[in-house]
Amino acid sequence: MTGPSVAERVREVPPSGIRRFFELAEEMDDVISLGVGEPDFTAPWRAREKAIESLELGQTSYTANRGMKALREAIASHVEKWDLTYDPDDEILVTAGASEALDLTFRALVDPGDVVAVVQPSYVSYIPDVMFAGGTALPVPTRAEDDFVLTPEALADAGADRADMLVLCYPNNPTGATMTRDELARVAEFVCEHDLTVISDEIYADLTYTRSHTSIASFDGMRDRTIVYNGFSKAYAMTGLRLGYALGPSNVIGAMNRIHQYTMLSAPTTPQYAAIEALESCDESVEEMRTQYDRRRKFVLSRFEDMGIDCFEATGAFYVFPECPWEDASAFAEALLEAEKVAMVPGSAFGECGAGHLRVSYATGLSDLRTAMDRLERFLD
């Protein structure tokens, strides 16, 4: 039995490169995984308590399609620290994770054949999302020499001046790179000159370690051409509660909501109660987690340095992206997993220009990180 035939645009999309690796790791016992893309912390208790309380009160109905008004208002206040001003009534959409918001945007904005430039290395969902929406993805490689920061030169070299849209993610998954205000200003200039719409995934905006986050939407001329994504999965350690949001011009948010209201109705209700509490009273918990990530980040970077492994100073998210000691990072990752039971993801899973690197997540406790680094050192010896 082969079953009904699957649509061509779905068949065209290759399975995630990370999956295969995790399947290998899952078959083994006692693996220390530095491959994960989610916090090892639990969501702040006060947020969880509100979720429980909402269930006790029987708040189990749908919410407004766009999300609870109190949550949209709390989001509008939260993003003010990045000089972002959005109207909770028609410029904010609450979704089932940033993932849903990203998917809705491509479905709302991409016409068949539209070209969407995607900065690489990058989170694995963007290109498949573009393909599902019938668009053509144009990879824009960034360079290890530039510490994986996006430059106008890289955009021009990739032909992004002819694209309709540009997907950015800073702080970046998988590299941990962030961009300074000046670096972003140069990209903003390119974007305005070539009239691109920007998809700015800022889900790690609260997890920066050397300077606070700058949003590309805060530059002159950018607000009306940018959609910003954020959510509760990373800074609030709420991955399983599936809640995110998009900020953007009302016509785009309205178009996304038109799809959302038919396909999702509303984001899950219980997490929305948790999220309001998270935004209003959990700054301290976020700061505690951020401090711990920073400690681990410094630890991992210094261990790599001691081992003679080249690694630029990643300043955001919870990843570092060292150069692989072997030319073939996939072979290295598999050999390390087999010999020492430490899982790291080969950088090529995030785009060709990531080849020769490894993504190492430090969303793992210090004691496991220490053991993993000791095992890595033994493996290299």
Question: Which positions touch ligand PMP (CB under 6 A)?
Answer: 37, 97-99, 123, 169, 173, 201, 203, 231, 233, 239, 244
- Cβ nearer to ligand PMP, comparing 173 with 197: 173
- Cβ nearer to ligand PMP, comparing 16 with 85: 16
Q: How far is the CB of 281 from ligand PMP (least distance, A)?
A: 21
- Cβ nearer to ligand PMP, comparing 360 with 376: 360
Q: Are 295 and 158 in contact (CB under 8 A)?
A: no
Q: How far is the CB of 37 from ligand PMP (least distance, A)?
A: 4
- Cβ nearer to ligand PMP, comparing 152 with 231: 231
The alpha carbon of residue 95 and the mean position of all alpha carbons in its chain are separated, in whole angstroms, by: 15
Using omega within 30 degrees of 0 as the cis cutoff, is the peptide bond preceding 88 cis? no
C-alpha neighbours within 13 Å on the C-beta side of residue 76 = 17
Contacts of 8 (CB under 8 A, 6+ apart): none
CA 107 to each of CA 111, 163, 209, 305: distance values in angstroms, whole numbers, following the listed order: 8, 17, 34, 44
- Cβ nearer to ligand PMP, comparing 169 with 184: 169
Q: How far is the CB of 2 from ligand PMP (least distance, A)?
A: 32
Q: How far is the CB of 361 from ligand PMP (least distance, A)?
A: 10
Structure tokens at 42: 């639990």
Question: In whole angstroms, what is the distance from residue 377 CA to residue 307 CA?
Answer: 7
Q: How far is the CB of 320 from ligand PMP (least distance, A)?
A: 15
- Cβ nearer to ligand PMP, comparing 350 with 373: 350
Question: In whole angstroms, what is the distance from residue 222 CA to residue 225 CA?
Answer: 5
Q: Are 329 and 313 in contact (CB under 8 A)?
A: no
Q: Are 76 and 86 in contact (CB under 8 A)?
A: yes
Structure tokens at 16: 């995630």
Q: How far is the CB of 39 from ligand PMP (least distance, A)?
A: 10
Within 10 A of 157 (CB to CB), how many other CB atoms are there? 12
CB closest to ligand PMP, residue no: 97
Q: How far is the CB of 318 from ligand PMP (least distance, A)?
A: 10
Backbone region of residue 58 per phi and psi (left: phi > 0; alpha: psi in -120 to 50; beta: other values): left
Query: What letter represents residue 345's amino acid?
Result: V
- Cβ nearer to ligand PMP, comparing 86 with 170: 170
